[in-house]
């Protein structure tokens, strides 16, 4: 029979956002799996940066007569079908995968946010047209869209960045527009508007910071798929197309021929892709929990 | 309900229309003469003239587009420049193979994902839940081709348990009637061929189904946990129903709703993944055709296949949406 | 009812006796047989208490069939009978409807019909009308009390609407923070409220016999966090009558007249109250302590709350 006081739900106002971010960071640091993910990512970032220093061999020079040697003390991960050191190639591959993957996600994020903010902010006919375009892009299964774009633009790192980026942009656009629309109806945006804040100010100061959290989470998770997709393109022979760079996906292209006598050539680059993708997935899930404490997985 | 269906169907049309515009521009926007871009190293003056003729490149852009659209609506997607065969004809032969692979992967993902999700939801944060979480994390983090080759290595090369590669053993020389490997095997009347066709499907279906499996598992888990906390589940228990009945009727009937939507969306990732899976397992379906066409710069085929895949994806999601409406009385009766 | 999942709901101890059986001792399947058949329950929010994807028919029939060997058509006939009993027009047609096709009041009627389907001995109604419009509230309550009387079903009504308590019940347990703080026949409780919380509740309600201009006195503060067991009287932080011992020990639930034999039930149930410093009759009607120079004892330092 207790007289219950109604639970007061406080949505963090943009002003208090510094405290909000700090809280989120603290929760993230306490999240074991997320920290493990961060560790995985850190290992590959270190490998990418230090590759020229720690690689025992030149990743692009093969030694004839030393092809497909199994892992040994000389070649930790063995040598590939033209006698190049697999370990050095995996290290250098981290450069391509991480940079191309993350730049692609950033590209997608920028395009997506422009479209999403324009659609969600302007509304009306602009919104309708932009969202139809987004629908069109979403109708093509992701990797297929990227494949089509590479086919169109030709091979090369920049092309891959654009292809994967464009195939992710619609997802971000839709996400941002969705949260902007929801925020537009929220009490504190109404309040800001009723106090005479200009539309641009409302959008930039009050809405975007709050719409940011789902984007951050999505972008981190997208980094995992981007690494996988970039590797997929490389595997299909649509990689950077430059024999001077090692790329994890490309290293797996001839895998069918390795099954019998050199399975380690599948295992090592494969493991590199899986571990870095797990890293971003763990971090993304952790970020989601940290940024939205009401949500548990 | 009928209004709902009509609205959804009408909604899909502008998307396909827009996609056809984009794909149409795809060739025209290439620098230089599209005919040369299409033909690449196969270009001869004679062929170039022929392409100009069929594409109507001398006419204004909108006329070209209307021609293109008119052809599309008649089911004419053009012909491959490699073997000059109509895209539609080759598609009819290759598509059943992709369908069989996709359905196999879907059965694997849904058939395993839903029970796993329910199991995990039974004791949230228990050890089964933890195990399921780890497995699904691997599922979404492993590329299809890495998983595919790993499976092939373990089960075909090392253990000799399952066949690799291809959809069926060519020595069985099964007559392609329907082009569905399993159905053709059944039609051949050779029980060994049926077993062989099924055995060939297992590894690619697992490789292709691993991502959908992870996602279906996660969604089922989350959805079951959500529904379990609903008041009406408490009511059902307060009525003295058995646990099984509460689970099957009261929880699952509701938990299905978000799961169906996600399954529909996974068809997209299956179609995209088929490109990789068919390449890994040497299946001559539509997916591997996309890859060879790109390698051959056979743009007309690539363009048509993208349009066809998008149409299939939209259609499947349309069906799923309508199925959702049937499952959900709140939509059915409004 | 043992419906809450562990660990959110945990039975710390004590006994829950129903017809001489301790419900805590029953295993899950024995408990399940009791639920719905012997003890039924109606919940607060009829909008969410019925399964949205099952028809009313499916939900009623499954209830009946869970406890009775009965054919589908008999169960259906019974369901129709029940729906018309709770005043739902055209029960045959309505049976095929889904919950969202009913209004809130109608849904609560369906819940009542479902709860009474097996003529349970006890019906627990957890704030059955708080989610309803005021006019509907009265109808639903009237229906509930009439049907309970007809079937000889005992009703435990959980509410914080004292008007409902006065109108519907014979005996009242006043609970605060999970503890029974006062127990009496309803008539006696209103005539002689003896616990500061009861007094506070009565004074926070508009009354017909109030003097014009007499203010409503709200109870200050908020209910305690139920996850932490209090050391002293749970009401102490909000109590105007508190004395120093209130902070230290939990007052026992004791009869007002210490000599009388305690009757737990019936019209002669003993009036009991858990308080170290009971308000007098005058203080109860004034709503505040009247003793000269009395001030509420401050919270001792380090009381360990
Ligand atoms: S007087 Fe003391 S025991 Fe009685 S209610 Fe107040 S605090 Fe509790």
pLDDT by residue (tens digit) across B229-250?
Answer: 888 888 888 887 888 888 888 8
Residue B47 lies in a domain: no
Mean pLDDT of B135-153: 90
For C305, what's the count of Cα atoms within 13 Å in the CB-facing half-sphere? 18
Candidate from B92-106, B270-284, C37-51 with smallest mean pLDDT: C37-51
Residue A23, min C-alpha distance to chain B (Å): 23
Is C236's C-beta closer than 6 angstroms to any atom of ligand 1?
Answer: yes
How far is Cα A143 from Cα A120, in angstroms, rounded to an integer?
27
Q: Please, which pLDDT band fits residue B217 given cuts at 50, 70 and 90?
A: very high
Residue B49 lies in a domain: no
Candidate from A179-183, C6-10, C161-165 with smallest mean pLDDT: C6-10
Residue A133 maps to which CATH number?
A: 1.10.3720.10
Mean pLDDT of C155-162: 84
Residue A124 lies in a domain: yes
Contact A270 B294 (CB under 8 A): no
How far is Cα B214 from Cα A273, in angstroms, rounded to an integer?
18
How far is Cα B105 from Cα B208, in angstroms, rounded to an integer?
6
pLDDT by residue (tens digit) across C263-278?
Answer: 776 667 788 888 888 8
Angle among Cα A37, A38, A44 to the nearest 5 degrees reads 95
pLDDT at A278: 93
In chain B, how many domains are there? 1
Give the percent of chain A with pLDDT over 90: 9
Q: In this model, does residue B265 exceed pLDDT 60?
A: yes
Chain C residues bordering chain B (beta-carbon distance below 8 Å): 1, 3, 5, 32-37, 40-41, 43, 45, 48-55, 58, 62-63, 66-67, 98, 100-101, 111, 114
Q: In this model, does residue B49 exceed pLDDT 80?
A: no
pLDDT at B203: 93
**Residue with token string 């308590």:** C165
Mean pLDDT of C155-182: 84
In chain A, how many domains are there? 1
Q: Please, which pLDDT band fits residue C19 given cuts at 50, 70 and 90?
A: confident
Partners of residue A5 in chain C, C-beta under 8 Å: 222-223
pLDDT at A12: 41
Residue B53 lies in a domain: no
Bridge partners, C183 (sequence order) = C173, C272
Q: How far is CA C246 from CA C1, C100, C198, C252, C286, in A?
A: 32, 50, 17, 11, 22
Task: Give the best residue of B13, B29, B141 to mutate against chain A (max A CB count within 10 A).
Answer: B141
How far is Cα A79 from Cα A251, in angstroms, rounded to an integer?
11
Task: Kindly give the number of the ligand 1 atom that is closest to the alpha carbon of C233.
Answer: 8
Candidate from A61-75, B101-115, B123-137, B256-270 with smallest mean pLDDT: A61-75
pLDDT by residue (tens digit) across B298-317?
Answer: 778 888 888 888 888 888 88
Mean pLDDT of C213-217: 66
Dihedral sign computed on CA atoms, order B160, B165, B170, B176:
positive
Candidates A146, A262, C28; CA nearest to B153 is A262
Are B275 and B291 in contact by the 8 Å Cβ rule? The answer is yes
Residue B289 lies in a domain: yes
Candidate from A33-37, A150-154, A219-223, C222-226 with smallest mean pLDDT: C222-226
Angle among Cα C68, C71, C73 to the nearest 5 degrees reads 125
Mean pLDDT of chain C: 79
pLDDT by residue (tens digit) across A82-126?
Answer: 667 777 888 888 888 888 889 999 999 999 988 988 888 777 888
Q: DSSP labels for A55-71?
A: -SS-TT---TT-TTPPS
C251, C295, C297, C303, best to mutate for ligand 1 pocket (most atoms within 8 Å of CB): C251
Q: Please, which pLDDT band fits residue C260 given cuts at 50, 70 and 90?
A: low
Q: In this model, does residue A297 exceed pLDDT 60?
A: no
Backbone angles phi, psi at B9, to 5 degrees: -65, -45
- In sequence order, the 6+-apart residues with CB closer than 8 A to the CB of A105 are A164, A165, A168, A219, A222, A223, A226
Candidate from B77-91, B134-148, C178-192, C224-238 with smallest mean pLDDT: C224-238
Partners of residue A2 in chain C, C-beta under 8 Å: 160, 175-177, 223
How far is Cα C279 from Cα A70, in angstroms, rounded to an integer?
90
Q: Give ipTM to 2 decimals.
A: 0.84
How far is Cα B206 from Cα B204, in angstroms, rounded to an integer?
5
Q: In this model, does residue A4 exceed pLDDT 70?
A: no
Nearest CA to ligand 1 atom 1: C242
Are B231 and B239 in contact by the 8 Å Cβ rule? The answer is no
C177, C182, C239, best to mutate for ligand 1 pocket (most atoms within 8 Å of CB): C239
pLDDT at B104: 93
Candidates A208, A217, A200; CA nearest to A183 is A208
Size of chain C in residues: 305
Mean pLDDT of chain B: 84
Q: In this model, does residue C15 exceed pLDDT 60?
A: yes
Residue C12 CB-density burial (10 A; 0-12 exposed, 13-18 middle, 19+ buried): exposed
Q: In this model, does residue B30 exceed pLDDT 70?
A: no
Bridge partners, C22 (sequence order) = C17
Mean pLDDT of A28-52: 85
For A157, what's the count of Cα atoms within 13 Å in the CB-facing half-sphere? 16
Residue B278 maps to which CATH number?
A: 1.10.3720.10
pLDDT by residue (tens digit) across C66-113?
Answer: 888 888 888 888 888 888 888 888 888 888 888 888 888 888 888 888
How far is Cα C196 from Cα C275, in angstroms, rounded to an integer?
8
- Straight-line distance from the first to the last Cα atom of chain A, in angstroms, rounded to the nearest whole number: 35
Are C35 and C85 in contact by the 8 Å Cβ rule? The answer is no
Residue A202 lies in a domain: yes
Partners of residue C58 in chain B, C-beta under 8 Å: 249
Mean pLDDT of A198-206: 73
- In sequence order, the 6+-apart residues with CB closer than 8 A to the CB of B293 are B80, B82, B299, B301, B302, B305
pLDDT at A11: 42
Domain hosting residue A137, numbered range: 87-290
Candidate from B51-55, C79-83, C146-150, C227-231 with smallest mean pLDDT: C227-231
The first and second tokens of residue B261, run together, are: 């939507």
Residue B154 CB-density burial (10 A; 0-12 exposed, 13-18 middle, 19+ buried): middle
Task: Kindly give the number of the ligand 1 atom that is closest to the alpha carbon of C247.
Answer: 7
Residue B244 lies in a domain: yes
Bridge partners, C182 (sequence order) = C174, C273
Size of chain B in residues: 334
Domain hosting residue B231, numbered range: 87-327
State the distance from the centre of ligand 1 to the C-alpha of C173, rounded, in angstroms. 17
> Which has more confidence, A63 or B25?
B25
Candidate from B18-27, B39-48, C66-75 with smallest mean pLDDT: B39-48
Backbone angles phi, psi at B130, to 5 degrees: -60, -45
Cis peptide upstream of residue C229 (ω within 30 degrees of 0): no
The first and second tokens of residue C78, run together, are: 């019974």
Q: Please, which pLDDT band fits residue A276 given cuts at 50, 70 and 90?
A: very high
Residue A78 lies in a domain: no
Candidates C45, C55, C49; CA nearest to C101 is C55
Residue B38 lies in a domain: no
Q: In this model, does residue B277 exceed pLDDT 70?
A: yes
């Amino acid at each position: 029979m207790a007289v219950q006081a109604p639970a007061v739900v406080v949505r963090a106002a943009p002003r208090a956002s510094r405290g909000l971010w700090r809280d989120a960071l603290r929760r993230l640091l306490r999240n074991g799996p997320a920290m493990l993910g961060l560790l995985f990512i850190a290992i590959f970032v270190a490998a990418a940066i230090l590759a020229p220093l720690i690689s025992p061999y030149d990743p692009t020079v093969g030694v004839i007569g030393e092809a497909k040697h199994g892992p040994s003390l000389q070649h930790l991960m063995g040598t590939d079908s033209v006698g190049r050191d697999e370990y050095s190639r995996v290290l250098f591959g981290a450069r391509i995968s991480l940079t191309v993957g993350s730049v692609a996600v950033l590209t997608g994020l920028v395009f997506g946010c422009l479209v999403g903010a324009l659609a969600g902010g302007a509304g009306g006919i602009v919104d309708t047209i932009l969202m139809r375009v987004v629908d069109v892009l979403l109708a093509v299964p992701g990797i297929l869209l990227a494949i089509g774009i590479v086919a169109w633009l030709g091979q090369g790192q920049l092309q891959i960045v654009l292809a994967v980026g464009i195939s992710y942009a619609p997802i971000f656009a839709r996400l941002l527009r969705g949260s902007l629309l929801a925020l537009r109806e929220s009490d504190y945006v109404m309040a800001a508007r009723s106090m005479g804040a200009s539309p641009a100010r409302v959008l930039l100061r009050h809405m975007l910071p709050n719409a940011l959290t789902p984007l951050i989470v999505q972008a981190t998770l997208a980094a995992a798929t981007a690494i996988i997709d970039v590797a997929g393109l490389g595997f299909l022979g649509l990689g950077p197309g430059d024999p001077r760079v090692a790329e994890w996906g490309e290293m797996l292209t001839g895998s069918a021929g390795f099954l019998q006598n050199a399975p380690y050539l599948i295992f090592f680059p494969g493991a590199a892709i899986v571990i870095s993708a797990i890293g971003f997935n763990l971090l993304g899930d952790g970020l989601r929990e940290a940024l939205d404490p009401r949500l548990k997985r | 309900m009928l209004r709902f269906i009509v609205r959804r169907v009408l909604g899909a049309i502008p998307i396909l229309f827009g996609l056809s515009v984009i794909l149409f521009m795809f060739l025209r926007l290439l620098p230089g003469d599209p005919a040369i871009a299409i033909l690449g190293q196969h270009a001869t003056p004679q062929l170039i003239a022929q392409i100009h003729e069929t594409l109507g490149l001398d006419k204004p852009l909108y006329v070209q587009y209307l021609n293109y659209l008119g052809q599309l609506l008649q089911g004419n997607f053009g012909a491959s420049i490699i073997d000059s065969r109509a895209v539609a004809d080759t598609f009819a032969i290759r598509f059943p193979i992709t369908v069989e692979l996709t359905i196999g992967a879907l059965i694997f993902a849904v058939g395993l994902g839903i029970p796993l999700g329910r199991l995990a939801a039974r004791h949230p944060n228990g050890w089964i839940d933890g195990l399921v979480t780890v497995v699904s994390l691997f599922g979404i983090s492993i590329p299809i081709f890495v998983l595919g080759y790993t499976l092939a290595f373990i089960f075909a090369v090392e253990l000799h348990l399952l066949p690799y590669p291809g959809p069926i053993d060519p020595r069985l020389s099964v007559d392609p009637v329907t082009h569905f490997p399993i159905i053709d095997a059944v039609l051949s009347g050779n029980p060994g061929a049926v077993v062989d066709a099924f055995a060939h499907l297992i590894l690619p279906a697992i490789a292709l189904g691993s991502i959908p499996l992870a996602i279906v598992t996660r969604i089922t888990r989350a959805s079951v946990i959500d529904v379990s906390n609903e008041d009406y589940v408490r009511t059902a228990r307060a009525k003295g129903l058995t646990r099984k009945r509460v689970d099957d009727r009261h929880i699952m009937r509701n938990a299905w709703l978000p799961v169906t939507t996600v399954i529909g969306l996974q068809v997209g990732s299956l179609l995209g993944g088929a490109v990789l899976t068919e390449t890994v397992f040497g299946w001559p379906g539509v997916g591997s055709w996309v890859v060879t066409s790109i390698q051959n710069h056979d743009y007309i085929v690539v363009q048509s296949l993208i349009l066809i895949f998008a149409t299939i994806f939209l259609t499947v999601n349309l069906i799923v949406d309508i199925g959702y409406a049937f499952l959900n009385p709140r939509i059915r009766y409004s | 009812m043992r419906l809450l999942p562990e660990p959110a709901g945990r039975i710390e101890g004590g006994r829950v006796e129903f017809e001489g059986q301790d419900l805590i001792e029953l295993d899950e399947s024995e408990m399940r047989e009791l639920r719905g058949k012997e003890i039924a329950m109606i919940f607060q929010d009829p909008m969410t208490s019925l399964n949205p994807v099952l028809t009313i028919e499916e939900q009623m029939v499954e209830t009946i069939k869970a406890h009775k060997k009965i054919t589908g058509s008999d169960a259906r006939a019974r369901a129709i009978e029940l729906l018309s009993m709770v005043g739902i027009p055209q029960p045959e047609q309505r049976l095929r409807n889904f919950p969202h096709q009913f209004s809130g009041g109608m849904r609560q009627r369906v819940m009542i019909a479902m709860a009474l389907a097996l003529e349970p001995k006890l019906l627990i109604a957890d704030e059955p009308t708080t989610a309803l419009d005021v006019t509907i509230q009265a109808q639903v309550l009237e229906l509930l009390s009439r049907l309970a009387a007809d079937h000889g079903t005992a009703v435990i009504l959980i509410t914080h609407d004292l008007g409902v308590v006065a109108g519907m019940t014979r005996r009242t347990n006043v609970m605060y923070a999970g503890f029974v703080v006062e127990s009496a026949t309803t008539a006696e409780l209103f005539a002689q409220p003896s616990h500061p919380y009861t007094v506070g509740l009565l004074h926070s309600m508009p009354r017909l016999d109030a003097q014009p201009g007499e203010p409503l006195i709200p109870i200050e503060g908020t209910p305690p966090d139920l996850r932490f067991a209090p050391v002293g009287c749970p009401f102490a932080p909000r109590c105007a009558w508190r004395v120093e011992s209130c902070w230290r020990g939990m007052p026992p639930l004791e009869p007002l007249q210490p000599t009388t034999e305690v009757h737990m039930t019936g019209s002669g149930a003993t009036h009991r109250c858990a308080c170290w410093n009971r308000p007098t009759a005058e203080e109860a009607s004034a709503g505040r302590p009247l003793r000269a120079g009395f001030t509420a004892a401050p919270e001792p330092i380090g009381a360990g709350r």
